[in-house]
Amino acid sequence: MKVDGKVVVVTGAAGGIGAALARRFAAEGAAALVLADLDGAAAAELAATLPGEVVGVEADVTSEEQVAELVGETLGRFDRIDLFCANAGITSGAGLEASAETWARTWAVNVLSHVYSARAVLPSMLERGSGYLLHTCSAAGLLTAVGDAPYAVTKHAAVSFAEWLSITYGSQGIRVSALCPQGVDTPMLRDGLKEGHIGAKVTAAGGAVLSAESVADSVVAGLEAEKFLILPHPEVARYYLHRATDTDRWLAGMRGLRDTLA
């Protein structure tokens, strides 16, 4: 799928990967962009800098009602949604000490928001017989997130849900991609390093830290190829294979990396 001429919604669009996607989609000639973020003012500010028909709105992706309103208002204004990017995500930096509230919040943002957007947008896509869902899942969804149990678990669930969507609706014209980058130079990673989170240290040490713009380049290429797994860090595919074929060795290596950086 080429973004040119398409109506696109991006959540978590005010910064990081979401903002990079918005800028790249605008440059690719999207017919319309709807940028949603919990910080509506920041989303609107970004929208004002981009060419074409771009709007920035406030939306809490953990609220199914607000996600449904986002989809409904976009359909009312532009008549269709060709690509929905469920990009919002959060980390916790916590292990067993993570509170029930932390688990619930991480689950709501990293998993349920994808469920809510799919529920809201799929009926219109299925009626047209075409549509694309891009879910930002992280390499943690294929591997793990050292030092962040809620993030590791929820990102695995996000990949699993994206797989389920592809299996269930792929024969009805719906395409699904799971974006799984490793280290990306975003406020999320920088804040984690500043706070000394072991997970951020492992991520930064595990390979190249890419710019958000580089990730957006990979997304455009992945969408055009209609690949399920979009891997801005190609080495993640190798790590994923090692994890599957020699799990004990992979776990030992991850323990060693954690012990070295703890």
Low-confidence winner among 5-14, 105-114, 206-215 (lowest mean pLDDT):
206-215
For the chain, which residues make up each domain, given as ranges? 7-237
pLDDT tens, residue by residue, 100-125: 999 999 999 999 999 999 999 999 99
Q: What is the mean pLDDT of residues 154-176?
A: 98
Cα–Cα distance for residue pair 82/168, rounded to 1 Å: 18
Cβ atoms 115, 61 nearer than 8 A: no
CATH of domain 7-237: 3.40.50.720
Q: What is the mean pLDDT of residues 172-189?
A: 90
| Order of strands, sheet of 83-86, starting from the edge strand that comes earlier in the sequence | 53-58, 32-37, 7-11, 83-86, 131-136, 174-179, 229-230
Q: What is the mean pLDDT of residues 116-143?
A: 98
pLDDT tens, residue by residue, 217-251: 999 999 999 999 999 999 999 999 999 999 999 99
pTM listed for this prediction: 0.93
**Which residues 6+ apart lie within 8 Å of 11 measured at CB?**
18, 36, 37, 59, 61, 70, 85, 86, 87, 88, 113, 117
240 is catalytic: no
Task: Name the band, by pLDDT with cuts 50, 70 and 90, for residue 62.
Answer: very high
Task: Name the band, by pLDDT with cuts 50, 70 and 90, for residue 187.
Answer: confident
Cβ atoms 192, 165 nearer than 8 A: no
DSSP tag of 38: S
Task: Give the per-residue pLDDT at 131.
Answer: 98
Q: Residues 116, 132, 151, 169: which is the catalytic one?
A: 151
Task: Give the per-residue pLDDT at 201.
Answer: 59
